[in-house]
């Protein structure tokens, strides 16, 4: 079994978007990396984001209608290599546990799983080093699409296990791929 190498980030969903950003920047001495009014990404260290805040808009008039939507949206865990992430994917798939969402975010490759209560966990690898990830998040492609693009983990797994170059499968269509050979330990988790 391959455990994650670190806890990556927590995402909160809120009707108090600006107040939440203000609170977390003060409480954690964080800085805002990206804020488009719908999503805000904050960090206090070298990670591209440790906290994300999703704006649900104004609270509904009916308080009961808003319950269950605010709070923790998901918790993210980082694996230290593509091999370990795909090994985990295979192990869970063989146990009939499959991701509900699979996204190439640009700075990470992520698979989201839902537990029996519906809580979501993001299992990810970094595909960019620290500075390139921060640059990408500050750029026009991320501004236009901060969520990313879906991918097929079975296609990626088959290509990876066959020893094929999977670089194109890791990055978004609006992003310049970084050759896997150019990635170094500690800056991105893609190794073959």
Which residues of the chain are under the pLDDT cut of 50? 181-187, 191-192
Rounded to the nearest angstrom, the gap between the alpha carbon of residue 30 and the centroid of all alpha carbons in its chain is 18
User: At a CB cut-off of 8 Å and minimum separation 6, what does 84 contact?
Assistant: 2, 5, 125
3-state secondary structure the chain: CCCCCEEEEEEEEECCHHHHHHHHHHHCCCEEEEECCCEEEEECCCCCCCEEEEECCCCCCCHHHHCCCCEEEEEEEECCCHHHHHHHHHHHHHCCCCCCEEEECCCEEEEEEECCCCCEEEEEEECCCHHHHHHHHCCHHHHHCCCCEECCHHHHHHHHHCCCCCHHHHCCCCCCCCCHHHCCCCCCCCCC
pTM for the model stands at 0.78
Rounded to an integer, what distance in angstroms lies between the CA atom of residue 76 and that of residue 105? Answer: 13
User: At a CB cut-off of 8 Å and minimum separation 6, what does 135 contact?
Assistant: none
The residue extents of the domains of the chain are 6-182
Q: What pLDDT does 185 receive?
A: 40
Q: What pLDDT does 114 receive?
A: 86
CATH 3.10.180.10 fits 6-182, yes or no: yes
CB-CB contact of 40 with 52 (8 Å):
yes
Q: What pLDDT does 28 receive?
A: 84
């Amino acid at each position: 079994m391959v455990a994650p190498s670190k806890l990556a980030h927590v995402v909160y969903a809120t009707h108090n978007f600006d107040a939440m950003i203000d609170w977390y920047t003060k409480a954690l001495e964080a800085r805002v990396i990206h804020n488009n009014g719908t999503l805000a990404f904050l960090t206090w260290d070298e990670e591209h984001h440790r906290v994300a805040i999703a704006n649900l808009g104004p609270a509904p008039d009916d308080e009961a209608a808003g319950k269950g939507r605010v709070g923790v949206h998901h918790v993210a865990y980082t694996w230290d290599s593509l091999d370990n992430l795909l090994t985990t994917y295979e192990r869970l798939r063989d146990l009939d546990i499959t991701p509900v969402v699979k996204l190439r975010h640009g700075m990470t490759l992520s698979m989201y799983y839902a537990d029996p209560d519906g809580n979501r966990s993001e299992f990810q690898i970094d595909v960019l080093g620290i500075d390139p990830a921060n640059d990408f998040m500050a750029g026009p492609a991320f501004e236009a699409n901060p969520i990313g693009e879906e991918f097929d983990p079975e296609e990626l797994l088959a290509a990876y296990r066959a020893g094929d170059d999977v670089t194109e499968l890791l990055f978004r269509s609006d992003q310049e791929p970084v050759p896997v050979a150019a990635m170094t330990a500690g800056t991105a988790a893609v190794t073959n």
